[in-house]
Amino acid sequence: MHPVVRAPVNAEAVAVLHRAARPLMDELPGLTDRVVELLCKEEPAYRAASVDQDELWHEVYRSLRHNVGSLLRPKELRDAARRCSWRIGADRAEQGLPLDALMRAFRLGGAVVWQSLVDRVTRHDPDGARLLVHVAAEVWDFVDEHCAVVAEAYRRTERRLAWRHGNRQRLMADALLEGTMRVADLTETSEALGLPERGRYAVVAVAGPGREAHRPLIRSRVPEAVPILWHPRSDADLGIAVIGGDPAGHGGPGEPGDPDGHGAADGLLAELAGALPALPGLRTGVSFAVDGLARIGEARRLAETALRSAAPGGTPVLLHEHLPAALLVSSPGLAAALAERVLGPVLRLEGADRDLLLDTLTAWMECDGSARRAGSRLFCHRNTVLNRLRRFEQLTGRSLGRPHEVAELSLALTARRVLQAPATERTASGRTRPAV
């Protein structure tokens, strides 16, 4: 698109413009009254209670003084006029005034000034009125230039405010999830994050590549009225979803009609966990529900405990369904000691022999002690299963007929499973801890 080429500005027209503009400098209070009156009449945003009318008057006055002055001394006052318009754009963005209302206000102010110029020339210099046509484009270019300045200042301020707001929310969420939030700040945090201060909350921790894929799935499986905060941790490969409900009955973890909230919470969380797919390399842990916003840090730690007992690419781990594993991952040193003490003689066998006995014991326990069902799962005869179990008893010195020793063996098998993760993993705060 080719730029518009204008003829040089007519010197006579400029002289007419200046003669008309000089008296306007003395009439600025009246012009300001007129602009403010029109603004309040035509722009609902300027009638809002949040707009201080005295402040508005002085804002319009400053703008008109700079802009009319720029018609008289453009080189001298151009930068000052731009700074004035920039300040107005930035201030109004901070106050939340709509940008389209602000733009219309500037154009309205330009129209009032232009009409005042035309009226004065028509009254006092009728022959010069025709010359104003030669400077009309320059006057409205000036108005357009300042509209652009205002819009740029507004958008930059809006971006800065959005960043500041987002950063403030991130800091609040961090403090909430770390359990370092001060009680005095809970109400402000509740309002900023949209999470009721009272109610029941659960936390879902997701680690590994593709964790963002769980975000829309979590939202789609939780009732719309239930607030959710998704908080990706920048210092770890971890995404955390805080799922909450208030006591008024918005369907979160813990609903009316359930005195403790546990039944409703368990049902909702189980449904959610069942809806989340097992993705390659991804681990998901779900806490049980806790009471109140102040305990979200506790729920986050519970979710991470569940996460640490989850297998990569496996189904989400609900903490309340895996409490023995949670106890073991919470104390990896004791878990390792338990596995060695109970399973040591078997663990020291050759790989294939060791895995055969451990897989047989695991299948037998998962089949509620039925050798026949375990044999079907392992594709062997029940007598083969029984023979392997007897050998297991001989090696470990423990009897599968004694309930307390069976419980000990079950815990040892769980300890071995959760200890098969990488040697270390990083916590949400960036510190290293033993893997489980």
Nearest CA to 45 among 34, 56, 60, 58?
56
Query: What percentage of the chain has pLDDT greater than the value 70?
Result: 89
Measure the CA–CA gap between 54 and 390, rounded to whole angstroms.
Answer: 93
pLDDT, the chain, mean: 83
CATH code that applies to domain 11-162: 1.10.490
pLDDT score, position 236: 63
What would the pLDDT profile of 337-380 be if each residue is shown by its tens digit?
988 999 999 999 998 999 999 999 999 998 999 999 999 999 99
Rounded to 5 degrees, φ, ψ at 28 are -55, -40
pLDDT score, position 435: 29
What would the pLDDT profile of 35-94 be if each residue is shown by its tens digit?
999 999 988 999 887 889 999 999 999 999 998 898 888 888 889 999 999 999 999 999
Whole-angstrom CA distances from 207 to 212, 312, 314, 403, 417 are: 10, 9, 12, 36, 19
pLDDT score, position 431: 36
Does the CA dihedral 321-324-329-330 come out positive or negative? positive
pLDDT at 3 over 90: no
Query: What percentage of the chain has pLDDT greater than the value 90?
Result: 33
What would the pLDDT profile of 97-118 be if each residue is shown by its tens digit?
999 999 999 999 999 998 988 8
pLDDT score, position 430: 36
pLDDT score, position 246: 47
pLDDT score, position 245: 60
What would the pLDDT profile of 204-216 be if each residue is shown by its tens digit?
999 888 788 888 8
* CATH class in words for 197-321: alpha beta
pLDDT score, position 35: 93
Domain regions of the chain by residue span: 11-162, 197-321, 332-434
Nearest CA to 56 among 99, 8, 91?
91
Which CATH number is correct for 332-434, 3.40.50.10490, 1.10.10.10, 1.10.10.2840, 3.40.50.2300?
A: 1.10.10.2840
- Cβ atoms of 261 and 220 within 8 Å: the answer is no
